[in-house]
Amino acid sequence: MKTCRLIIFTAVLTIALCLSFGNMAHAAKPVVLGCPLSTAFLYGWDAERGFKLAVEEINASGGVKVAGQKRPFKVEVIDTRDLEPGVPVSEALLAVEKLILDKKADFILGGPVRSEAALAAMPLLSKYKKVSILTTGVLTPKYHALVAKQYDKFKYCFRIHGEAKNLVGEMFANFTELKEKHGFNNLFIIAQDVSHARGAAKVMNSVATKKGWNVTGVEIYPTGATDFSIGLLKAKKTKSEIINIWMDMPESAILLKQWYEMRIPALPFGSTLAAAEQPGFWKATGGKGEFTLCNVVNAGNAPSNATPWTMKFYNAYAKKWGVEPEGLGTSSSYMAVYVLRDAIERAGSLDPDKVVAELEKTDIMGVYGRLRFDPKSHQVIPATDPQEGAVGSILQWQAGKRVVVYPKSIATGSIQLPPWMKK
């Protein structure tokens, strides 16, 4: 009887010890990832889900090794609301400061999401020496230009997703193809009245003119506009063949529905076209969004086989959240946690200067290709081949599916024209 009790006691003790050792990483003080995100909007919640998935995977494998000790990651999210009309920058800054001072964030990941707010947060990150990796929204080239210009001040700021200039280049690669294939030459630009979109529209206009395109018009719509008929009629009247859209507000769905209802003979080609990025777009528009093209910034935000990790991430995300990766901040947010873990482990410390030095040396194959930062500007290095750098992703809605049409190295289909545009 005594022997039996002893065996049971030993077994229980062994199991308890195993469990406690197994959970040691979780018992250790967590490394806090402060995430200032506009959570009510696509570019906020997709990033949050990306972070949480990566953190769950990393914590399940023991966490991040800091100075020989395994520690778990912990995600703290504060709503910045900076994607709302009026761009309340002050609220976003408060969120960042609260994450640093109140939530004791060791690192800042994600946002602020709106370019204006992210630029305004840079001095704050310098003041508190907080390493930040932007993963969603913010496309303005000013961000990494500022890092390059004032490196000592802004060296804590990184961006792991593509930026506007890169997106412009990707779109022109497609425009050139459309020109060669269908003889397109007239481009109409529609943008939202926010920093990155206005800037991008200006760049598009200038680059298009230099490349021999006829820019037939530029319309800037205020955030919250609900009628785009006049702009669309202008595009039709000027015989535009492509409507380049820079708009992340929800009302962009109205624009696309109007385009379809009015049978405007110009291909809607968007960037940060949030409404069309979501997998639910097809159902929401009753199929009226067919043929819409949009740049989802990085691979992994739409289905492709950019790297062996792409579909693994894609499926894991879909399994955990019950929806496919949705917006432009999904794969980059997911990868930011892995990249940070890699840098922390190499640095062997949470010291911001040491982590910055290691982030600059980052070179890992991720969901959207080889991830490296430019050591001067801290911008992720883009490429059209995933073996060379971070690849983008342009998708087109075709028969209810998001088909990747660019870059060619990962494309799963080619651009289709709506029936009313076929000659």
Partner 1 sequence: MQILIYGTINSVALALFALGFAMVYGVSRLPNFAHGALYVLSGFITWTLINSLGLNYLISIVLAMIATGIIGALIYQFVLIRIRGMEISEIMASYAMGLAILEGLRWGGFKGMTYTLPAFIEGSTSIAGVSVDYQRLLVVGIGAAVVALLWLFTRYTRIGLALRGMAQDERAAMMLGIDSDLMAVVAMGFGSMLAALAAICLLPLGNIVVEAGYNVLILAIAVCIVGGLGSWVGAVLSAFLIGFAQILTVVYLGAHFQMVVALLAIILTLILKPSGLFGRQKELEERV
- Which residues are at the interface with partner 1 (CB under 8 A)? 40-42, 45, 84-85, 193, 219-222, 224-231, 233, 236, 250-254, 257-258, 261-264, 274-275, 278, 280-281, 283-286
Say how many CA atoms lie within 13 Å of 155 toward its Cβ.
15
Q: Where are the alpha helices (DSSP H) in 161-251?
A: 164-182, 195-210, 229-237
Which amino acid belongs to residue 109? L
- Shortest Å, Cβ 307 to partner 1: 28
Burial of residue 354, with CB atoms counted within 10 A of its CB: 0-12 exposed, 13-18 middle, 19 or more buried: middle
CA gap 259, 387 in Å, rounded: 38
Min. distance of Cβ 272 from partner 1 in angstroms?
13
The conformation of residue 162, written as its DSSP 8-state character, comes to -
In angstroms, what is the minimal distance from the CB of 274 to partner 1? Answer: 6
Q: Which is nearer to partner 1, 279 or 389 (CB)?
A: 279
Between CA 382 and CA 188 the distance in angstroms is 27
CA-to-CA separations, 35 to 39, 57, 109, 211, 336, in angstroms, rounded: 10, 18, 5, 40, 12
Least Å from the CB of residue 401 to partner 1: 16
Closest to partner 1 by CB, 228 or 334: 228
Beta bridge partners of 403: 396
Structure tokens at 269: 């080609």
Cis peptide before 325 (omega within 30 of 0): no
Nearest CA-CA partner of 266 in 287, 237, 288, 286? 237
Q: Name residues whose C-beta falls within 8 Å of residue 117's C-beta, 6 or more positions apart in sequence.
A: 80, 82, 87, 89, 92, 93, 111
Strand partners, 217: 188
> Is the Cβ of residue 11 or residue 40 nearer to partner 1 in the bound state?
40
Residue 42 beta carbon to partner 1: minimum distance, rounded to whole angstroms: 6
Nearer CB in complex with partner 1: 145/262: 262
Q: Of 191 and 390, which has the nearer Cβ to partner 1?
A: 191
Q: How far is the CB of 81 from partner 1 (least distance, A)?
A: 10
205 or 310: CB nearest partner 1: 205
Q: What are phi and psi of 175, to 5 degrees?
A: -60, -40
Do 328 and 334 contact (CB within 8 A), yes or no? no
Contacts of 160 (CB under 8 A, 6+ apart): 133, 134, 135, 332, 335, 336, 339, 371, 373, 380, 390
Q: How far is the CB of 82 from partner 1 (least distance, A)?
A: 13
Helix (H, G, I), strand (E, B) or coil at 365: strand
Nearest CB to partner 1, comparing residues 211 and 283: 283
For partner 1, the closer of residues 92 and 157 by Cβ is 92
Between 169 and 250, name the residue whose CB sits nearer to partner 1.
Answer: 250
Q: How far is the CB of 276 from partner 1 (least distance, A)?
A: 9
d(CA 214, CA 416): 22
Query: Which lies closer to partner 1 via its Cβ, residue 238 or residue 258?
Result: 258
Q: Smallest distance, Å, CB 264 to partner 1?
A: 8
Strand partners, 187: 215, 242
67 vs 233, beta carbon nearer partner 1: 233
CB of 285 to partner 1, least distance (A): 7
The separation between the first and the last C-alpha atoms of the chain, rounded to the nearest angstrom, is 91
Q: How far is the CB of 349 from partner 1 (least distance, A)?
A: 38
